[in-house]
Amino acid sequence: MASRRSSCWALAGNQGPASDPFNFVQDTTAPVKLGITLARDTGGSASDGITNDGTINLSGLENGATWQYSLNGGGSWSTGSGTSVKLKGTVDGAGNADGAKTIVVRQTDLAGNNSAVSDNLSLTLDTLVPAKLSLALARDTGVINDKITSDGTVNITGLEANASWQWSTDGGVNWSRGSGTSFLVSGDGNKAVTARQIDLAGNLGAVSDVLTFTLDGGLPNRPAVSLARDTGASSSDKITSDGTINIGKLDPAGSWQYSLDGGASWLNGTGTSVRIKGASDGGGNADGMKNVIVRQTSAAGITSPASDVLTFNLVTTAPAKLGLTLHNDTGTSASDGLTNDGTVDISGLASGATWTYSTDSGLTWSAGSGSNVVLTGNGSKSIQVRQTDAAGNVGPISDSLGFTLASRPPRPSVSA
């Protein structure tokens, strides 16, 4: 009955009480179209769209809005978060392949209005590092496969299209930019080279295995020869008692030979010198004039021109022991060793030799000249001599010569 009355009241024009107010904000405006850019274009230029980093930055997001991205032209959408999304490639663990990518995004504001889809962003994602390069000598000019060569050209295989590459000769401390498919190493000696490539997306490949070889870049130096010691009267008279010859300008990796007969026969040398032996040092060779030439052969098998001829006079035999006699034995007999003339004659002097004498049993020595020496002062005398030849060899000391010098008779004494 009550409901009938209410209906009747309403039909009768009676007004009921007002409802509680309902407040809302009406937003029918679509949010702005988002902007999208690569976070890092790691390719050959900053705008080629080739990268190893699939991070995409967004701009224009409204506060509170959500956003989605699509990789298939809007066929399906994935929800994003933050202000970027990273597209993963082959090595990122997402199961996606590297290659060309196209992405679009859109946002939905708090009122549920969808923005227009962004412009397409196209990129090429390359996350795979390039292959390790292989190195080989262009020409092994020594014995086959001995890795000794006169050509420092190293060939490279395994380069990717459009990749750049670098090479190093110091274990990767320093790198040089390469071009083409080879590089040239200079400077003779042992070499150890490596290389690596950087693909178009900026991925750095592994360092190649080390290629080691010996570079011997052509005709070796002409050796230089000189006497180790010129023991003669001057340092340049080429008269010596020491047959050691110093060899200069040698290739450390090569070998060398010397000849004493103008190149008719050759003997192998070692180190940086050779000793030409003479009559007294067990070499079976006679003292006298020697002519030495030297040549070297590089590790690559190339022989140098022979050196200049080194000519010298080798004297290894000590000079003879000198003889001593009184020039005048004026005593009662010619052999009593009593004289008034202190002149002592020297015999056995070699040509070009010098000599010295001693009157104190060899404690001190004085230079002599000519072929005799005059002692002064009355009394008992004893003298020894020795000679030094032109090559500097010192002879044995002579036998002692003893005598009594009385250069004037004693003053007579007078007694009462």
pLDDT computed for residue 24 by the predictor: 65
Give, for all 416 residues of the chain, the pLDDT tens digit.
Answer: 445 544 444 567 777 788 888 776 676 788 999 999 999 999 888 889 999 999 999 999 999 999 999 999 999 999 999 999 999 888 776 667 889 999 999 999 998 999 999 999 999 999 999 999 999 999 988 777 889 888 899 999 999 999 999 999 999 999 999 999 999 999 888 999 999 999 999 999 999 999 999 887 778 889 999 999 999 988 899 999 999 999 999 988 789 999 999 999 999 999 999 999 988 776 667 899 999 999 998 877 789 999 999 999 999 999 999 999 999 999 888 889 999 999 999 999 999 999 999 999 999 999 999 999 999 999 999 999 999 999 999 999 999 999 999 976 555 555 55
Which residue type is seen at 182? S
What is the phi-psi region of residue 348: left when phi exceeds 0, alpha when psi lies from -120 to 50, beta otherwise? left
- Check if 224-314 and 323-405 are the same fold: yes
Domain boundaries, the chain: 35-125, 134-215, 224-314, 323-405
DSSP-derived 3-state class of residue 350: coil
Q: Where are the beta strands (DSSP E) in 19-171?
A: 35-38, 50-51, 55-59, 66-70, 78-79, 84-86, 99-108, 121-125, 134-137, 148-149, 153-157, 164-168
Token output for 189: 């000696």
pLDDT computed for residue 93 by the predictor: 66
Rounded CA gap, 359 and 86, in Å?
106
DSSP-derived 3-state class of residue 369: coil
Superfamily of domain 35-125: Immunoglobulins (2.60.40.10)
pLDDT computed for residue 22 by the predictor: 74
CATH number of 323-405: 2.60.40
pLDDT computed for residue 414 by the predictor: 54
What is the phi-psi region of residue 28: left when phi exceeds 0, alpha when psi lies from -120 to 50, beta otherwise? alpha
Residue corresponding to tokens 């080691």 = 212
Q: Is 332 exposed, middle or buried (0-12, 13-18, 19+ CB in 10 A)?
A: exposed
| Residue 96 · residue 126 · CB < 8 Å | no
Rounded CA gap, 190 and 254, in Å?
12
- From 3.40.50, 2.60.40, 3.30.70, 2.10.25, which CATH number describes the 224-314 domain? 2.60.40
| Residue 238 · residue 248 · CB < 8 Å | no
| Residue 219 · residue 213 · CB < 8 Å | no
| Residue 392 · residue 237 · CB < 8 Å | no
Rounded CA gap, 59 and 131, in Å?
37
| Residue 181 · residue 154 · CB < 8 Å | no
DSSP-derived 3-state class of residue 2: helix
Q: Which fold is adopted by the domain 134-215?
A: Immunoglobulin-like (2.60.40)
Q: What is the dihedral angle through the alpha carbons of 123, 127, 129, 131, rounded to the nearest 10 degrees?
A: -70
pLDDT computed for residue 415 by the predictor: 57
pLDDT computed for residue 254 by the predictor: 83
Closest by alpha carbon to 198, among 244, 155, 167? 167
